[in-house]
Amino acid sequence: MSAATPAVRPLVVLVGPMGAGKTTVGRMLAQAAGVGFRDTDADVETRAGKPVSEIFVDDGEAAFRELERDAVVTALGEHDGVLALGGGAVMTPAIRDALADHRVVFLQVGLADAVKRVGMGTGRPLLLGNVRARVKQLLDERTPVYESVATHVVDTDGRDAADVAALVRELLEEKR
């Protein structure tokens, strides 16, 4: 009889809106916990050979969402550290299903802090135009979805990224 191979799974999956700090906090948390960090936006960019903003322009959002779905499902099955998802990943039903028995932390951010953090950068194609209005619309549409997949919620408003990482770390320790 062969010994069962334990399933590889992330220590924690970070979800939340653009500017919540999934990438920034995720990196800090992984370093502090001594585990690897992986970001599905980066995985998609590697696979496509171009930045997310170019995928949206050249191939469209639907093509990006397909690449994202494959990247998330793959990473959930092979990464055992901190995994950050793209801000809109939870809007894909197959991704929500795949998150079902994982530890998922929703990094919550309000409109004012989110707008401050994303600034006027051009790397986020869904924010082109009126940044504040787009962020508000996405927060309104997506907040219930983040809440539905989350096992934990951490409020990041008014906290710097290191404080948020420390809070998530405490939460992971508590659950051991």
Ligand X SMILES: O=C(O)C1=C[C@@H](O)[C@@H](O)[C@H](O)C1
Binding footprint of Mg ion on the chain (CB under 5 A):
22-23
Element (H, E) at 84: strand 82-84
Q: Give the residue, chosen from 11, 35, 125, 159, that forms a contact with ligand X under the rule CB under 6 A.
A: 125
Taking CB under 6 A as the criterion, which residues in 61-120 touch ligand ATP? 84, 86-87, 117
Q: Which of ligand ATP, Mg ion, ligand X, none binds 160 (CB below 5-8 Å, type-dependent)? A: ligand ATP
Give the C-alpha separation, 74 to 48, whole Å: 15
Residue 40 found at the interface with ligand ATP (CB under 6 A):
no
Tell me the DSSP string of 109-158: --HHHHHHHHTT-SS-GGG-S-HHHHHHHHHHHHHHHHHHH-SEEEE-TT
Q: Give the residue, chosen from 13, 71, 86, 168, that forms a contact with ligand X under the rule CB under 6 A.
A: 86
Q: Give the residue, chosen from 10, 12, 13, 22, that forms a contact with ligand ATP under the rule CB under 6 A.
A: 22
172 by Cβ neighbours in 10 Å (0-12 / 13-18 / 19+) ranks as: middle
Residue 88 found at the interface with ligand X (CB under 6 A):
yes
Termini Cα distance of the chain = 30
Q: Give the residue, chosen from 25, 29, 33, 52, that forms a contact with ligand X under the rule CB under 6 A.
A: 52
Residues with Cβ within 8 Å of residue 160, at least 6 apart in sequence: none
11 by Cβ neighbours in 10 Å (0-12 / 13-18 / 19+) ranks as: middle
Q: Measured from the CB atom, is 54 or 101 closer to Mg ion?
A: 54
Q: Which of Mg ion, ligand X, ligand ATP, none binds 125 (CB below 5-8 Å, type-dependent)? A: ligand X
Known binding-site residues for substrate equal 41, 65, 87, 142
Binding residues (CB under 6 A) for ligand X: these are: 18, 41, 52, 86-88, 124-126
